[in-house]
Structure 1
Amino acid sequence: MQFSIPFPPKDMFVSSGALVLLCCSWFSLFVNGESPYRFLDWNVTFGDIYPLGVRQRGILINGQFPGPDIYSVTNDNLVINVHNSLTEPFLISWNGVQQRKNSWEDGVYGTNCPIPAGKNFTYNIQVKDQIGSFFYFPSLAFHKAAGGFGGIRILSRPLIPVPFPEPAADYTVLIGDWYRASHTDLKARLDRGKRLPFPDGILVNGRGPNAASLTVVSGKTYRLRISNVGLQNSLNIRIEGHRMKLVEVEGIHTLQNTYSSLDVHVGQSLSVLVTADQPSRDYYVAVSTRFTTPILTTTAVLHYSDSRQPVSGPPPGGPTDQIGWSLNQARSFRTNLTASGPRPNPQGSYHYGLINVTRTIRLASSARLVNRKQRYAVNSVSFVEADTPLKLADLYNISGVFRLGSIADNPTGAAVHLDTSVMPADFRSFVEIVFENYEGIVQSWHLDGYNMFVVGMDGGKWSGASRKEYNLNDALPRCTVQVYPRSWTAVYVALDNVGMWNLRSEFWARRYLGQQFYIRVYSPVHSVRDELPIPANALLCGRAAGRHTRAIKA
């Protein structure tokens, strides 16, 4: 048997103390068969970008916009050293990477102190029992509007069967709405209590119309990992003359239905297979906003390697039907019960439909003026950041940072008010969450640390009778779900991941102005079997500053 021991890159500085720790890690890897380590060294800077043809100050990672892809395999340990060379604090979060037992590395202010300007922080993340397509993004100060995002792919381990032949190549396709205004101007607008304007354009892999391209060879099949990394708009993607076979959504192999176009809502990721089966020329990849007036459209290029004919004429149009078409498509996304997931057993072997629900949580959003400023709320509470990360306040028993139960399990109808809202939840409980949308827009919701079984979605008002229509057989688990206008979406969640987890609107202005809260999944045992101890390198700030990190007793 051969062992491959991953040493850090030659240009990575390693102190003597860190070297001892790394050597111990490598020794453990060699002796105990620990999963491989992948070391990344990132420098986050401001730099000039031209996504819509005008110069902007964007956020670059190692000089790249978007940032570099993260390549990994199930159970890999990712050691990501982030140097903050910006002029302001910075955090990166990992959209869809579940952080098993480890909300310490989640990269949102509820769990992590920001990386100060001019300093660095090393994330230690294990992609435990995961496969699939995800992305990372900056979570503070409206930085997401400046870049700093990139793709994450987690490949299946060798010998674990994948339900389709290996593609000829694997492409990341990051789509999202974009503004010409800087992130600081947009943030200042929100700080004044104003709404965001309509975006100026759409980007594909950080580029405007026809600037991004995907090269294919005639007759071969390719995997496209598509993520909507934008700020607020649902997008539709289609490829002129080609069909897309859906094979994976946020880490779950799906029934392999074929589509002419796909709606991808804010914060969502999916994978499709595309076969280069058309005459050799260039074809449009068209991306347009959904449910908006006007409709914004941009294009990239699917380029056949031997093509001598560029794209011409109008790009293919998107679906003309609005909500009904999109709702029916979403309902067609089902789990492939015969496919293996990250382990060599059918991923449908977990019979979520046979587990008794221990708690129902109904969440309704609202938009109101508070103190003459625009705010957004969940169950009448508009979230405000505390002076100390909630996870640290919980660990050190710092009073006055947050109150458990400061957000109700059901819509209250009360006036919107400001609070640092935290919902208590018991470890290993099995809950039903119903997202209720009373507004005329499509909403998008994300839960860190978890996948949610999307058991139902429909128009009108949810009631107990709605459960009769739930899919209790092959519902798709995912981390980000959409809720259509004046409709509801119901999910089941097994709360098996201890920690402080962010539940948020993926409309970034809404999240920034309060449409989020935290779920504290608590175990009284305080065992490393349930939750990892605070990392030795954890940054301490606010009222936790000056305290020493301490391990959780087993």
Structure 2
Amino acid sequence: MSLNLMGGGDMWYLCATILSLLVIVGAEDPYRFFTWNVTYGDIYPLGVRQQGILINGQFPGPDIYSVTNNNLIINVHNSLPEPFLLSWNGIQQRRNSYEDGVYGTTCPIPPGKNFTYILQVKDQIGSFYYFPSLAFHKAAGGFGGIRILSRPQIPVPFPDPAGDFTVLIGDWYKANHKTLKAILDNGKKLRFPDGILINGRGPNGTSFTVEQGKTYRFRISNVGLQNSLNFRIQGHKMKLVEVEGTHTLQTTYSSLDVHVGQSYSVLVTADQPAQDYYIAVSTRFTSQVLTTTGVLHYSNSARRVSGPPPGGPTTEIDWSLNQARSIRTNLTASGPRPNPQGSYHYGLINITRTIRLANSAGQVNGKQRYAVNSVSFIPADTPLKLADHFKIGGVFRVGSIPDNPTGGKMYLDTSVMGADFRAFVEIVFENKESILQSWHLDGYSFWVVGMNGGKWTPASRNQYNLRDAVSRCTTQVYPRSWTAIYIALDNVGMWNLRTEFWARQYLGQQFYLRVYSPVESIRDEYPIPKNALLCGRAKGRTTRPL
């Protein structure tokens, strides 16, 4: 299929946008340019042929390598026969939710067309990933790793590793993603997945080569659809050093639970006899346990892997809960800016609002749906951010989702919750179901201040960690349990808050948080990009220049 390359007008808009950004963000910040072609192609991750989504012919897609404050110019050509969008899991998009890559903020790229994302990884470091956000495309691939390195003048709290590996793990179906989407569209539940992949491959399909005596960084992201996974390396310990942009206390683990949507960095030293070792990944808290393996290959290996892979941890929730509580911020480490991360004393700030969010499952009009505070999200005919910008009425209503669980019957709505710019908010995720839940908020990192079993009450605040809680963008909520987070709402925009269980997200378990400032200033939010795609009721409108 031929590419729809940029025309002269599109290139002029891009150059004008870049020049404008030079004024806004400063000319000293480097630019990195990427050109990606998105296609369908045959893949065989579990030994059977499937239709997968490839980026530049790759499954998974290429890694993005960057440095703090770099500007990323990613020109995406959609060679699929249907609309397509990419989203950036954990990239905060300061003041710029137009580039977030979910349908509530961004029009899809039409078939045969291209769109150039203009992102800045402002004051960010760490391990993240990108993925397709429309039409259940995530079940076909189109995902890849993002690594953001610290600037050379900012010290990192560990020596430079000998190598840096991206490890994308996730559950997988043999069925075509369109078949899975049709099941959901017909109001049915998906069955249990068929297997687990490591970097797009099944058992022993992925290998990482190391030299004896050297230390390596593994950036592990769970890009799957629904299952928490446990990651471990036979005979080796893992030292946790970073979680979604936060340097952590350097705690050593023999295995690590990675919940859907989460990313971790660990250091592994090749300090064992020279042979090959299993890397094992298995599902957690499921009656049927799926396991896959990769290989840690010593360059001077004398023996291949053999025998059974190492077993996982106990299935008891307490083991995982205690591990989660042990993950804390390294207060002595520098962050992406030349000041200690711990200088922000979040535990001393007064909470201005408490929001309680409860997930639920049920039937609406005889079809399976999922909800937050009884509201099951339905997409509007126009991206909500565009409707907000152009002041198009009737697309959504601020306050269409309540701040607290109602216990009422589930219903459909385009749910948007309003929030004030610079508010300091407590959100409590309440999970009364028997599943483990995973929640993500675009545009932000938040402090995970507490989690426990049972029902949350105001007295639960006595358990909060108000000193060194980890700051991240995705958190788990254990079955019949709660998790509490603190957020400083310092990023104006329309931001997606969603479950990372993708069938649940697709069938309504999400909403948008509209962080609003009445002052229209580029200090608070960038204007709409000149190259913004316009669709729905925004089609034909004129974008004002930056």
TM-score normalized by the length of structure 2: 0.97
Alignment match, 2:127: 133
Query: 1:20 offset after TM fit, Å?
Result: 8.9
Contact 2:13/2:530 (8 A) holds in 1: no
Alignment match, 1:432: 426
Aligned residue identity for 1:112: T
Whole-angstrom distance in 1 between the partners of 2:326 and 2:337: 25
Contact 1:442/1:482 (8 A) holds in 2: yes
1:209-235, CA deviations, whole angstroms, 9 ceiling, x for partnerless residues?
001000000000000000000000000
Whole-angstrom distance in 2 between the partners of 1:369 and 1:32: 52
> What SS does structure 2 have at the residue aligned with 1:157?
coil
Query: 1:63 offset after TM fit, Å?
Result: 0.1
Query: 1:22 offset after TM fit, Å?
Result: 3.9
Cα 1:316–1:417 change in 2 (3 A) is same
1:136-187, CA deviations, whole angstroms, 9 ceiling, x for partnerless residues?
0000000000000000000000110000000000000000000000000000
Q: After the TM superposition, which residues 424-463 of structure 1 pair with which residues of structure 2 at under 5 Å, given as runs? A: 424-463=418-457
Which of 239, 242, 247 aligns to 1:245? It is: 239
Whole-angstrom distance in 1 between the partners of 2:18 and 2:391: 32
Where in structure 1 are there 5+ consecutive unaligned residues? 1-11
Contact 2:17/2:530 (8 A) holds in 1: no
1:294-322, CA deviations, whole angstroms, 9 ceiling, x for partnerless residues?
10000000000011311000000000242
Which of 259, 279, 285 aligns to 2:279? It is: 285
Aligned residue identity for 2:48: V
Alignment match, 1:18: 11
> What SS does structure 1 have at the residue aligned with 2:334?
coil
> What SS does structure 2 have at the residue aligned with 1:348?
helix
Aligned residue identity for 1:431: V
TM superposition outliers: structure 1 runs of 4+ over 3 Å: 12-17, 19-33
Whole-angstrom distance in 2 between the partners of 1:277 and 1:430: 46
Query: 1:481 offset after TM fit, Å?
Result: 0.3
1:4-52, CA deviations, whole angstroms, 9 ceiling, x for partnerless residues?
xxxxxxxx96848736964995899699643000000000000000000
Contact 2:107/2:535 (8 A) holds in 1: yes
Which of 38, 42, 45 aligns to 1:48? It is: 42
Alignment match, 2:393: 399
Whole-angstrom distance in 1 between the partners of 2:9 and 2:91: 31
Q: After the TM superposition, which residues 257-336 of structure 1 pair with which residues of structure 2 at under 5 Å, given as runs? A: 257-336=251-330
Aligned residue identity for 1:133: S
Contact 1:133/1:250 (8 A) holds in 2: yes
> What SS does structure 1 have at the residue aligned with 2:35?
strand
The question of 1:367 aligning with 2:385 is answered no
Whole-angstrom distance in 2 between the partners of 1:385 and 1:26: 34
Cα 1:24–1:226 change in 2 (3 A) is closer
Q: CA RMSD in A?
A: 1.7
Alignment match, 1:505: 499
Whole-angstrom distance in 2 between the partners of 1:320 and 1:126: 41
Alignment match, 2:196: 202
Contact 1:28/1:34 (8 A) holds in 2: no
Contact 1:29/1:36 (8 A) holds in 2: no
Aligned residue identity for 1:319: P
Alignment match, 1:4: none
TM-score normalized by the length of structure 1: 0.96
Whole-angstrom distance in 2 between the partners of 1:386 and 1:540: 14
Whole-angstrom distance in 1 between the partners of 2:360 and 2:6: 49
Whole-angstrom distance in 2 between the partners of 1:109 and 1:100: 18
Alignment match, 1:8: none
Whole-angstrom distance in 2 between the partners of 1:375 and 1:167: 46
Please identify, of 73-82 and 30-39, the stretch whose mean Cα deviation from structure 2 is larger.
Answer: 30-39
Aligned residue identity for 1:192: N
The question of 1:67 aligning with 2:61 is answered yes
Cα 1:293–1:488 change in 2 (3 A) is same
Whole-angstrom distance in 1 between the partners of 2:390 and 2:13: 29
Where in structure 2 are there 5+ consecutive unaligned residues? none
Whole-angstrom distance in 2 between the partners of 1:173 and 1:351: 33
Alignment match, 2:71: 77
Give the number of aligned pairs: 542
> What SS does structure 1 have at the residue aligned with 2:197?
strand
